[in-house]
Chain A
Amino acid sequence: MIRQSIVFPFREALLPGLAGLAVVPRIGSMENIGDVLNTIYRSGVNLRFLLVESERPLTFAGLHQGLAGVPIALEVPALGPFADFFRLLPVIRQMNLRVYLPAGGEGNLTSLRVLSSLGIETAVTFGGKEPDWDGLADLMTYAFFGQSPHAPIAPFGYLSEIFDQRGRNEFQAVYFEDPKSYLHMDENGRVALTSADLKKGRFLLENIAGLEKGADDLESFVEGLEEWRNHFLNFDMCSTCPGWRTCSGWLARHRKPDERCRSFFSEVLDSLEQQRSMRRDPLSVWRP
């Protein structure tokens, strides 16, 4: 039995093959989202959430009241003008939404803080333009130690929930890249462990039907989960990193590791330990 959710580019033709499974359809914009949802609801699949990869800022992404309650992970390049955002805020507050913003985008670190303080769940994404690491560290400090309750900022909020001081803490589930929770399928029905594997053609299976009995016993699945051990075949930037426990080499998939990310994730680890020692209550999402 497949316990993972299947992330796939939305095509109506693919739905019958996914009947009974939890799915994460990917769409490029909010246009025709109503039709997409109707198709999904009629198809017999279980919608986990919609992954919208918009090229427009949040304020122009097409959010509207009719989407209240629909779980949406919305990737946008930026927030958009603040004045427009505040006019949209009453709509956003009714939605079951997490907003993904790239750390390297201008003003995004500020936007993430503002959104979180207003009770809107957010996530920082990596890759693309290099972030301001100092600003990111400030945001991380806010995520862990902000004085007032605020919505979680992933991956920090997620790390805070799962934190194991001695073990590895993986947060790629926030980005739907954890094979224990998500598998990726292309428009031809081929399945891979991650979106990167899908792009490279490293398929787990040629067809989703082959996953009837689940993926956990497949050798390539097990191998994929253990890829992080390859860092320990040598002294490399990741395996010798003081902050390894909070990254597990994940960021190395997006950029060449260096002292900046090492310093940052080391600080994340210190902050998690401090937070744990302060025995804070779990952060709660604020909704009016």
Chain B
Amino acid sequence: MCLPSPMPELLLTRSCDYGCGCCCQARSLDPSGVPRDLISWEDLVYVADFLLASGEPRITLSGGEPSLHPEFVAMTAYLVERGFEVAVSTAGIRKGKALGEASAVFEAYPPQRFSIILNLDPLIQGDPATAEADGIQEFLENFGNRCFPTIRLGDADFDLTDPLQLIFQFGMSRNLSVGLCHPILGHGSPAPEPSQIRAIVNRFFSFADLMERFRIQPIFACGWPQCCFDDGQMSWLARNAGRCDFTCGPTIGIGPDLTVWPCFPLNRFRNRSLFEFNSLQEIIYLYFDAFNKVKVEAGGIFPDCDTCRFRDLQRCGGGCLVHNVLSFLDEEPLRLPEVYP
């Protein structure tokens, strides 16, 4: 069996002051403005040791909003100095002093050692996001050329014009990661119904001309059902070097308290502590095995997934696994024990 080797994601904090529509941590910052659930230095060192001992030199820092952590700059620099390739998943470092400090420290690092996964969701969600979007200009002037843009689509009402323009204007990577809002186990955050996904895909491809003009190459993240893409759209992707991963597999998340989980929508699925494991490979194997068992129990997001030949060929995972797990919750517990949270 060949195990996947996903880049582990470490939450520096669960607090966030952005309002991304499909995130369970949206607007979770206390009114006091003090972020909570912060990872300690001791735990950060432990995580770094753990990953390096597992032979994993890559790490994504996320949250909440990781730049809210008071030691964000120092912790990020620390990981780079430990030899990691660090990607920070953020909606932008906006506060003046923090941005200045970040620039002063990070500018010395080559892009392959320090990069940013820039969450453009606030820009595609309409008026409330605009005020937030204004703060991003200064950030992009400093870090635009290190940014890998990403968006998550939750409904068919979105406009990619501004985000695509910014990608081009500030020299971001032309690989745009396109995610789908998924339900989040244990949270009531909104996600599109499976029946709405095709409309979201169609809306996305309505910006194909603009993407061609700006040389944007979309990469569809995990959990998209292949059957929601028509032949023309698949052909466009093939011609424009976009990539699409229709499968679903564990990505490994680590919380500020060193709780681990298999992916963001399933961050409350079979939680364990990092201290229970001797290596990253043990964690991957645990969740890979659980995922396979879920897939045995349920085909996918649509009834037809059970008999879909692309699922049989492992070209499609039948949508995000969270849909399957959620469907088990209302049943009598008669299935394999590993499929329950």
Contact = CB atoms under 8 A, between A and B. Distances in A.
Interface in B46-72: 48-50, 52-53, 71
Dominant secondary structure of chain B at its interface with chain A: helix
Interface stretch (A41-49, A82-90, A242-250, A256-264): A82-90
Given A117-B48, A147-B49, A138 B81 contact: no
Interface in A197-224: none
Given A82-B71, A86-B105, A117-B48, A148 B53 contact: yes
Contact of B77 (A86, A138, A150): A86
A114 B52 contact: no
A118 B78 contact: yes
A13 B169 CA distance: 67
Interface centre among A82, A87, A113, A138 (most CB of B within 10 A): A82
A128 interface: no
B49 A146 contact: yes
B45 A142 contact: yes
A86 B102 CA distance: 11
A110 interface: yes
A116 to B, nearest CB: 9
B310 interface: no
B2 interface: no
**For this complex, into which size category does the number of interface residues on chain B fall?**
20 to 34
Contacts of A86: 74, 77-78, 81, 105
Contacts of A82: 71, 73-74, 77-78
A79 B77 CA distance: 16
B36 to A, nearest CB: 19
Contacts of B50: 147
Interface string A101-122: 0000000001001100110000
25 contacts: A82-B73, A82-B74, A83-B73, A83-B77, A83-B104, A86-B74, A86-B77, A86-B105, A87-B105, A89-B81, A110-B42, A113-B41, A114-B41, A114-B78, A117-B48, A117-B49, A117-B82, A118-B78, A118-B81, A118-B82, A138-B42, A142-B42, A142-B45, A147-B52, A150-B49
The 9 A-B pairs of least Cβ separation, nearest first, read A82-B74, A86-B77, A148-B49, A147-B49, A147-B53, A110-B41, A148-B52, A117-B45, A148-B53
